[in-house]
Amino acid sequence: MKIQNLRILAAVIESRSVTAAAERLHLSQPAVSAGLRALEADVGHTLFDRRAGAHRIRPNAKALRLYDHAVDILRRCQMAKNSLAEAAEAVPRLRLGVLKTLPTDQVAEAADAIGRTISDHDLRVREGTEADLADWLTKGRIDVAWTTVDGVDGAVRDLWREPYVLCVSPQHRLAQSDRLTARVQDFADDRLILRGACELRAGTLQRAGLTLAAAARVDRDDLAMLLVARGIGVAIAPRSLATRGVVALSVTDLGLVRTIGLRWRQDLSDDLITELARCILGATGRTQPA
């Protein structure tokens, strides 16, 4: 089997169409279709249901089973390339993927600390969503992911847990109270700033009883907090994102938390991960996992 055809298989299954896979791989649609047919010939099985049309095909059980192997093979190929590239470099790279919903000042401080402390590595930082980081780590495009680790198995280290809080402006009626707590019903009439980068699963806020009308939908958390500070709306966000000019209130009946930690390539040393965790904890004002 050709590696390129396995790459095509993975792209088609992940993109759910030949057209999208072709765009992603920078190939023509006929080339993608030909790669799939060649792969089917190699394995001796039909892998896709083509009744929906040439450009939107459905993988069968055999295709999904082969997909798992393909992802592993592609990841190992990327790791082999990375290993050879690192061997040719005077200084090995440390590619750190960073969750985009972490506070920017803490990320910058941590990157500075890592660069100074782990000076025998060339640090490369790449920001992405929770899904991006998981995908890049699987495919060997990053070495370590500083991300959410709730319920994740494997090479994982928890760093801290933090609750989701209600962020309001200092002039908001709830901020005027001596209590820095609220219940969902207390802000049921407010409008919500929806954070496009939020890693909460779709429907989580609704299941928690939040059905607020949207005042704004933004991808940047710094913009979301500025809108909150101006009184445009309220936001549900991890406590660490509450910036100056924003009041963070604990929501006693919300109960949402996220666990931030590290995930990494299996071949990295424990000493490197320990040093990396120490740098991040120190830069974020934490001395040990919470």
Asked: is 161-257 a CATH 3.40.190.10 domain? The reply is yes
Strands 144-148 and 257-264: antiparallel
What is the pTM assigned to this prediction? 0.66
How many Å apart are CA 250 and CA 164, to the nearest integer?
Answer: 8
In the prediction, which pLDDT does 52 show? Answer: 59
Q: Which residues pair with 234 in a beta bridge?
A: 192
- Tell the burial category of 131 from Cβ atoms under 10 Å away from its Cβ (0-12, 13-18, 19+): exposed
Q: What is the pLDDT along the chain (290 residues), one digit of tens a residue?
A: 888 999 999 988 888 788 888 888 889 989 998 999 999 999 999 998 877 565 568 889 998 999 999 989 998 888 888 777 666 556 788 999 999 999 999 999 999 999 999 988 999 999 999 889 999 998 899 999 999 997 766 788 999 999 999 999 999 999 988 888 999 889 988 999 999 888 777 677 777 777 788 999 999 999 999 999 999 999 999 999 998 899 999 999 888 899 999 999 888 899 999 999 999 999 988 865 44
Which pLDDT does position 272 carry in this prediction? 93
Note the pLDDT of residue 82.
Answer: 78
Q: What is the pLDDT of residues 211-222, one digit of tens each?
A: 788 999 999 999
Ordered DSSP codes for 227-271: HHHTTS-BEEEEGGG--TT-EEEEETTT--EEEEEEEE-TTS-HH
Beta bridge partners of 168: 247
Give pLDDT, residue 290: 44
State the Cα–Cα distance between residues 17 and 265, nearest whole angstrom.
Answer: 30
Q: Any idea of the CA torsion for 6, 9, 15, 19, to the nearest 10 degrees?
A: 110
Q: Which pLDDT does position 100 carry in this prediction? A: 93
In residues, how long is the chain?
A: 290
The 3-state DSSP class for residue 47 equals: coil
Using one digit for the tens of pLDDT, what is the confidence trace for 105-149? 999 999 999 999 998 899 999 999 988 999 999 889 999 999 999
Residue 94 sits at φ, ψ, to 5 deg, of -125, 105
pLDDT at 55 (0 to 100): 57
pLDDT at residue 79, as a whole number: 84
The predicted structure's pLDDT at residue 89: 58
Give the model's pLDDT for residue 108.
Answer: 96
Domains 3-85 and 90-160+260-283 share a fold: no
Q: Which residues contact 211 (CB under 8 A, 6 or more apart)?
A: 188
One-letter amino acid for residue 186 of the chain: D
| CATH code given to domain 3-85 | 1.10.10.10
Residue linked to tokens 């809080």: 165
- Domain 90-160+260-283: which CATH number of 3.30.465.10, 2.10.60.10, 3.40.50.720, 3.40.190.10: 3.40.190.10
CA angle 222, 287, 137 (to 5 degrees): 60
Domain regions of the chain by residue span? 3-85, 90-160+260-283, 161-257
What is the structure's pLDDT at 87? 61
Q: Which residues pair with 216 in a beta bridge?
A: 193
pLDDT (0 to 100) of residue 38? 93
Measuring CA to CA, which residue among 118, 49, 134, 101 is closest to residue 260? 101
3-state secondary structure of 101: coil
Q: What span, in angstroms and rounded, lies between the C-alpha atoms of 233 and 191? A: 5
